[in-house]
Amino acid sequence: MPPAAAGMADGVHLLGFSDEILLHILVHVPSTDLILNVRRTCRKLAALCLDKSLVHTVLLQKDYQASEDKVRQLVKEVGHEIQQLSMAGCYWLPGSAVEHVARCRSLVKVNLSGCHLTSLRLSKMLSALQQLRSLAIDVSPGFDASHLSSECKATLSRVRELKQTLFTPSYGVVPCCTSLEKLLLYFEILDRTREGAILSGQLMVGQSNVPHYQNLRIFYARLAPGYINQEVVRLYLAVLSDRTPENLHAFLISVPGSFAESGATKNLLDSMARNVALDALQLPRSWLNGSSLLQHLKFNNPFYFSFSRCTLSGGHLVQQVLQGGKDLHSLASLNLSGCTHCLSPDTLLHKAEDDIDSSILETLVVSCCNLRHLNLSVAHHHSPEGLGRHLCQLLARLSHLRSLSLPVCSVANVAPRADRAPPQPVTHAVPCGFGKKVRIGVQSCPSPFSGQAGPQPSSVFWSLLKNLPFLEHLELIGSSFFSAMPRNEPAIRNMLPPCSRAQNVGDSEVAAISQLAFLRHLTLAQLPGMLSGSGLVSIGLQCQQLQSLSLANLGMMGKVVYMPALLDMLKHCKRLKDLRLEQPYFSANAQFFQALSQCSSLQRLCLVSRRGTLQPDAVLAFMACCLHVVVCHLFTGESLATCKSLKQSLLRSFQVERPALNVVIFPLLHEGLTDVIRDVPMVHLDEITLFKSRVAEEPPNLWW
């Protein structure tokens, strides 16, 4: 470290700080840099870099410059001290890099999700890790449990926590883990092979061993779309239905779409209702819809509930979940995404667009006063007239909130704003078909640079955010928004019109978000009332901690009205790491990429644009300028030949110096998109390529 870099502006040398302060600084340095570079600068740092607080836990995920050689050197230097190691999502490292983990004999927890791992490598590694108690791995096609040695199985028998991502029908290592207390299962099995052969979950029936669940406390299963995943999870659940663990306190199953209840699952739920008291619950919506299950289940000190997309009425929410207004101060996370009637009175005549019953929401706020994560998206939740009855005014009492997801229409003032012209009819907000773009006549508005839209004190949304100054994650998602790029299916060509009340949410409401000084993650989707996008500039200037930004379908669909404001915003986003843009007719031109180049910390970019265009030379210049970018996903209206040529140029120019580089450039409406998506590393597919609401998606601290 040169002296100039180690000094402060007032002449105080960095190394003059106390060891305690220096350790707080060094904890933010990637482990490979810490041990292989910083440690070699001077004697003081050499000693500090070996402090147990720094080498006890080594995190290599998203350390995109980590190579096999660096992993080998790191293990050689401090491997004997490492007790927790995460290589999650290190897809670019060869399988041989995992073999070095076997030298970390003191390991208690290791996360190898996303790493290339064969049965033989896993066996060799685990045979040496006798202290291991927590393990995360992928089970890929070709996995064979018969290749596991007796020493490996002995280690697995002592493992208490297992996270297993399945890409093939298999029990994986679950039958060997006889002491399991926490089991997390992620089912990512495709219904067909790349060659088109249909898979069957019955492939795993022939295994002689079955899971051991007698000590299980936490069971979590998340399924990707597809019938094969449902077939396989039923085999895991069949063992649970025979004998429900007495200490089970968290039971969570996340399933997209419907998942029919079977005799075995019904027996399981009946047994749970009789024998256990839960602290966390998530069930497929088909198991809850029309069922009296909730009133029979017992809860102890619940910390997480998810009723995503269930037909949960306001009466059921109050009586069966909130238990008539009982104090649920232990509840930290609540997911009511897609529960269109959960804040509405129990009446057959009530429509999804009708006003909510404010007393139901008030009961929720009073009962769950310590909520930190709340998801109310994919619904309308229109507030009635009356002082203090607006949804934003009630939610403002939840001062502990750190993440919040709301439908756009729910934050609109009840009465139309006097400073805004009447909204255009919603039916004209989206162009029909694929022909000529539709231009909508709107009121003339000033340039976003002549005077930025400031937060309006009269806005209930402004007041809400003023009372939640420590909010870190905010999502505003249109109640009828669907991404154009769903998973395992062709791109969606038609869009549903936004809610009419969403027309009253525009630039000034977006500008109100700039109050959140600690905001790290922001999602804005389907805001038809945005005219200039000037609120984005305010966010860029004030929200300096912003790391992840997702924007989709803002303003008019036939014209990207917010482009000048977006370009100005990007100039100020120095800590932005992830950017996802989804907008029809988006022009990814030289001006856009020049502005994006000023996001010096950017690592991942995903652009989804039906009928959109891009300039290959601008993309190449951007990648040459932004040295940290390792993900470039561009799905536009360009031809297949143009996409292939640009992808090859990017890989040829940057693959060597960026080993983690993942480039996917493909026409959005091409029939081969599904096959291309399946090759995207899971860490990127789940976190940025696909659009989804992430607030209260999983229980907090589910895995480290």
- pLDDT tens, position by position, 545-555: 999 999 999 99
H or E element, residue 223: strand 218-223
123-134 average pLDDT score = 97
For residue 588, is it within any domain? yes
List phi, psi (to 5°) of 43: -65, -40
What is the spatial distance between Cα 169 and Cα 182, in angstroms, rounded to a whole number?
A: 21
- 586 and 654 in a single domain? The answer is yes
Is pLDDT of 386 > 90? no
Amino acid identity for residue 589 in this structure: N
Helix/strand/coil for 361: helix
pLDDT at residue 5, as a whole number: 47
For residue 577, is it within any domain? yes
- pLDDT tens, position by position, 645-703: 999 999 999 999 999 999 999 999 999 998 899 999 999 999 999 999 999 999 999 98
Beta strand ranges found along 537-674 (DSSP E): 548-554, 578-582, 587-588, 604-608, 613-614, 631-636, 662-667
- pLDDT tens, position by position, 217-272: 999 999 999 999 999 999 899 888 878 899 999 999 999 988 988 888 888 999 99
For residue 304, is it within any domain? no
Mean pLDDT score of the chain, rounded to an integer?
89
Helix/strand/coil for 298: strand
- Give the position of tokens 């003191």: 106
Is pLDDT of 348 > 80? no
Q: Which of 371, 373, 345 minimizes the C-alpha distance to 360?
A: 345
What is the spatial distance between Cα 285 and Cα 211, in angstroms, rounded to a whole number?
A: 26
- 46 and 144 in a single domain? The answer is no
The residue from 274, 299, 324 where one domain ends is: 299
- 70 and 194 in a single domain? The answer is no
CB 521 within 8 A of CB 551: no
- pLDDT tens, position by position, 291-310: 788 888 999 999 999 999 99
- 194 and 95 in a single domain? The answer is no
pTM of the predicted structure, to 2 decimals: 0.91
- 283 and 157 in a single domain? The answer is yes
- 218 and 284 in a single domain? The answer is yes
Q: Which residues span the domain enclosing 521? A: 407-411+461-486+498-688
For residue 583, is it within any domain? yes
CB contact set of 303 (below 8 Å; sequence gap of 6+): 279, 280, 330, 331, 332, 333, 699, 700
Q: Which of 314, 322, 274 minimizes the C-alpha distance to 298?
A: 274
Of the pLDDT bands very low, low, confident and very high (cuts 50, 70, 90), residue 457 is: low
Quick one: DSSP state of residue 436?
Answer: S
For residue 220, is it within any domain? yes
- 146 and 178 in a single domain? The answer is yes
The residue from 116, 151, 183 where one domain ends is: 116
- 505 and 622 in a single domain? The answer is yes
The residue from 284, 299, 314 where one domain ends is: 299
7 or 681: which leads in pLDDT: 681
pLDDT at residue 419, as a whole number: 41
Q: What is the DSSP string of 624-635?
A: HH-TT--EEEEE
576-590 average pLDDT score = 97
Q: Are strands 277-282 and 298-306 parallel, antiparallel or unpaired?
A: parallel
Give me 490's structure tokens: 């062709």
Domain count, the chain: 3
- pLDDT tens, position by position, 76-105: 999 999 999 999 999 999 999 999 999 999
What is the spatial distance between Cα 533 and Cα 658, in angstroms, rounded to a whole number?
A: 34
- 549 and 678 in a single domain? The answer is yes
For residue 105, is it within any domain? yes
- 591 and 634 in a single domain? The answer is yes
- 112 and 167 in a single domain? The answer is no
CB 280 within 8 A of CB 251: yes
CATH code of 503's domain: 3.80.10.10
pLDDT at residue 427, as a whole number: 37
Give me 599's structure tokens: 């996001």
Helix/strand/coil for 132: coil
Residue 80's CB is within 10 A of a number of other CB atoms, namely 12
- 106 and 196 in a single domain? The answer is no
335, β-bridge pairs? 306, 375
- What are the Cα distances from residue 158, in Å, to 103, 107, 511, 702? 19, 13, 53, 20
For residue 208, is it within any domain? yes
For residue 564, is it within any domain? yes
- pLDDT tens, position by position, 494-542: 778 999 999 999 999 999 999 999 999 999 999 999 999 999 999 999 9
